Every structure is written in structure tokens, then in C-alpha cells.
Amino acid sequence: MKSATTLLLLSCCLSGALVQTEITTQSDLSTQLQALSATVEELRSMESRLTASERKVQDQEESVKDLKAELDETKKQLLHYNEQAKEMQKRLADQPKVAFSVALNGNVGPSNVETTLVFPKILTNVGNAYNVYTGFFTAPVSGVYFFRFNVMDGRYNNHMGAALYKNNERVLLNYSWNHWDDHEHMANGLVLQLNQGDVAYMRLPAWYRLTEFGGNNFNIFSGFLLFAM
């Protein structure tokens, strides 16, 4: 009887120990599973961040490729502009240098007929295209030229002015009536296309007069070549 009781107690103790061991084991497994799950989630997060980083790197690589293509295109354009600039410099170097400014030495007019104005005072005559004896500018090359003049008269109640001619054609006439006992000034300019050998010159209308004194160069005729054609 005593032995049976002892065996029963021993059996109960072993049963309790086994139950406790099983509970402890289940608790450890649950903890391990939670830790493993957390690790898996962290790995997924890291994988997601890595994928995003890879996409950023790919986008940056594409941007670098685009920038390189733009840089290559810019280099080509700069090379083209540089070649154009060299060509323009060569043309300018080869183009004749033509420019003049001439002035009157004293009063001119009045006369009962229109007369050619001869400006004998040379201020500039690059290319020697202006003739101080005839008053004619002769185009040394075909091209586009700019001409300008200014004139002055000091007579009260009189007309003053001048006309610009191309060959035998009057292309411009400016005149004014001096209402005051003072100096009356006038200026104008224009662009003309001339063939080689064409002439440009100034003429004074009949009964007009221009006043010049003191070396002040009130009356000036100027021109220069803009570009050859």
C-alpha cells in the first residue's frame, strides 16, 4: 500500500514537471517565432529600401546620360559657332577698309544753279575712295554703304540745305528756312547699295548757301562700307 502511494505521488510529480516543461518550451518557441517574424519584417524593409536606392541610382545614371548627351550637343554647337566666327573674321580681314569724313574750308554759295559740293578738308579717307577735287565718293567694291552729312548756314531769312546723289539720281534733299538771325543746322543719313564704280556726292541747290568759319567743321560729309556683296 505504501509503495502504491509512493508511485502515485511520483507519477504526479513527473506529470507536473512534463507539463511545466511543455509550457516553457511553447513559450520559448513563441518568443523565437516573434523574433524571427521581426527579423523577416526588417529584412523586407531593408529589401524595399535597397530597391528604392537602386531605382534612384538608375535614375541618376539616366540623368548623367542625358547631361552627357546635352554636353556633347553643346560642344558641337560651340565648335560650329567657333568655325562661323573664324569664317567671319576671315571675311572681315579680306574685306576692303573704306571710310571717309570731309569738311568745307569756308562759305559756299549762293549760285543761280545747283552745284556739286566739294569738301576739300580731309578728316579721314581710308581707302582713298573720296576725291577732294571732284567731291565724288567712288565705290571701290560692290556693297552696302552708309552716308551721313550735316550742314549749317547763318543767314537770316534764307534757305539752306543740301542734296545727296547716287550717280545721276537725287536720293535725298533736306532744306530749311532760317527764321532767326542765328545758325541753322541740319543733318541726315541713309544706307545705299552701290555697285563697284558707282558714285555718291552732295549738291547745293540754287540760291542756297552754307556757312563755315573758324575751323569748326560745321559742314561734314561722311561715309563707310558696311559690308561687301
User: What is this structure's pTM?
Assistant: 0.61
Q: Do the Cβ atoms of 69 and 87 come closer than 8 Å?
A: no
pLDDT, position 15: 60
- Asked if pLDDT for residue 12 goes beyond 60, the answer is no
Largest interatomic CA distance in the chain: 172
Q: What CATH code would you report for 99-228?
A: 2.60.120.40
pLDDT, position 119: 95
- Kindly state the helix (H) or strand (E) to which residue 200 belongs, with its residue range: strand 199-204
> Which residues are bridge partners to 201 per DSSP?
165
Q: Tell me the Ramachandran region of residue 127: left when phi exceeds 0, alpha when psi lies from -120 to 50, beta otherwise.
A: left
Cβ-based neighbours of 133, under 8 Å, separated by 6 or more: 118
Q: Read off the pLDDT of residues 94-133 as tens digits, 9 standing for 90 and up.
A: 778 999 999 998 888 788 999 999 999 999 999 999 999 9
What are the residue ranges spanned by the domains of the chain? 1-94, 99-228
**What DSSP character marks residue 205?**
P
Q: Read off the pLDDT of residues 38-77 as tens digits, 9 standing for 90 and up.
A: 888 888 888 888 888 888 888 888 888 888 888 888 888 8
- Asked if pLDDT for residue 164 goes beyond 60, the answer is yes
